[in-house]
Amino acid sequence: MFRFQHSKLAVLVACTVFAVGVQAKAPPDEVAKLGLTGTPLTPVGAERAGSKDGVIPEWTGGITTPPAGYKTGMHHPNPFPNDKPLFTITAKNYKDYADKLSAGQQAMFARHPDWRMVVYPTRRSASYPQRTYEMTMKNAATGDLVDDGEGVANVAEGLPFPILDKDPTKAGMEAIWNHKLKFKGVTFERWNDQAIPTSSGQYTLIRFHEFGLGLYYKPGNTLKDIHNILLYFLEDVVSPPRLAGQVLLVHETLDSKKEPRQAWIYNPGQRRVRRAPNVAYDNPGTASDGLRTNDMTDMFNGALNKYNWKLVGKKEMYVPYNSYKAHSDKTLVKDLIQPNFINPDLLRYELHRVWIVEADLKPGQRHINPKRTFYLDEDSWQILEIDHYDSQGKLWRYSEAPSVNYYEVPVFWSTLEIAYDLKAGRYLVQGLDNQEPEYNFSYPATPDMFSPQALRTRGIQ
C-alpha cells in the first residue's frame, strides 16, 4: 500500500536532528517507534496493535483509496455499506456499558430516555497525507511548548506532539495542540449550516458560507513563514434574512501570548467593519442562542491560557465514528433533526481508544465552563466528545463530533458538531451540509482575501 518503511525514516530523522545539535523533544528510541508499518506506534502516535479482545482492530493505514465511483466534490459515500449494528445502548442498559461511556453520554440517557447509541464494528479509517506523516515524525524529535503552552516551537506542517510528554500537565496541552494543528487541508470552502430545534423539533436553518486558509500546512512553510497566523477564517451569514449580510473575519494566531486572536465583523445595517475582541473564549457563537461558545467551534479552538490542563490517560470508549449516514446527501436535514436530539438511527458509534484530557479553570480566570473533559481519537487527534461543567461542578453540556474520512485530502474530521444542553433539554447542531455543496479543499484562497478591507468590500457586495 505504501512504498517505503516509515520506521526507517523515523530513525533517520532522529539521527539527523541530533547530529546537528538540536534540542530534541523526544529521544531517538521513542521517535523510532513511529512509522507506517512494522512499528509499535502509527505515524501520529496511536497504538498500532488492536485490543486484546480483538474488538479494536490493528491500524493498517486507514482509508487510502476512496470507494469505487467517488469523485472529488461528491458527498463521501459510506466505505462500509455492509456493516450491521452489533447492539444498541439505551436508557435501560447503559449502566452495563458505563465504563466505556463519558459522563455526558450517561447524562444524555438520564435526561432523554429515548436517546440511544447504535454501536457498529470498529473501523480504524483515519488517515492523513504521506507528507503529514513525514513532518509529524520530524516534529516528534524537535517540537516543544513555549510561552507557558500558548505557543509551539521547532515544528512545521504536521502534528506537533505524536509522542506526549511524561508530565501530565505538558501532555494535556500537547494533546490539545495536536487537535488544533491537525491537518485540514491548506485551504477550504464550506457550507456550515446550523440549526437550533425547539422542543417540538421546529427550526430555522442558518446558512454560513465559510472560507479558510492555513499557511501552517503549506508544504515548505516554517513557523517563521506564517508570521504567527495559524488560520485565516471568513464567515458569511447567507440566511435567514434577519441575519444575512453579516461577515466575520478572524486571524487566528499560533502563539496567543505573543499576539491574541484578531477579529473583525461587518454589520450590513451600519455598513461598517469593526473590531470584534469578544469573538473568543466563552462569548456566544454567531446566532447560537447561547448554546455554543466561540471556543467550541471545531470542538475547541483558541488560547489555552484560561485552564490548567492534565492528561488523564487513554481508554477504550464508545465514540461517534464513520458517520457517513449523517454526512450523506441522501439524508435530508429534516430527517436528521428531531426533538431533543439528532436522529440516533443516522449516527454510528464504535469502540475506539481515546486520550482523555481534563481542563480546570485557573484561579482568577473566568469562563462559563470552569471544567471540561475532552476525549480525543488516538488515530487522528480529533476531539470526538466533550463534557462541560458549570460553576457548581455539575455537568451542563455534552458535545460530540460525528466524523468521517474526507478521501480527497485525506483527513478524518467532523461532519457534524452537536452541543446538547442537559439542563434546558435543547441542542445546537452545525455542519448540516447534506443538501449543500461539499467541502472544497482546493479553493484558491490567498491572504489578501482575509484583510479587513476585503471584508468591507465583501460585505457591501
Cell representation of residue 409:
485530502
Cα gap 306→46, rounded to integer Å:
28
Cell representation of residue 126:
483515519
Model-wide pTM > 0.85: yes
How far is residue 343 from each of residues 84, 114, 254, 377, measured CA to CA in Å?
18, 10, 37, 23
* pLDDT beyond 50 at 6: no
List, for residues 404-414, the tens digit of each pLDDT value.
999 999 999 99
Cα gap 113→427, rounded to integer Å:
16
Task: Please give the average per-residue pLDDT across 162-179, as a whole number.
Answer: 97
| β-strand pairing of 417-421 with 395-400 | antiparallel
List, for residues 340-397, the tens digit of each pLDDT value.
999 999 999 999 999 999 999 999 999 999 999 999 999 999 999 999 999 999 999 9
pLDDT at residue number 26: 84
DSSP 301: -
* pLDDT beyond 60 at 4: no
Asked if 389 and 371 touch (Cβ cutoff 8 Å), the reply is yes
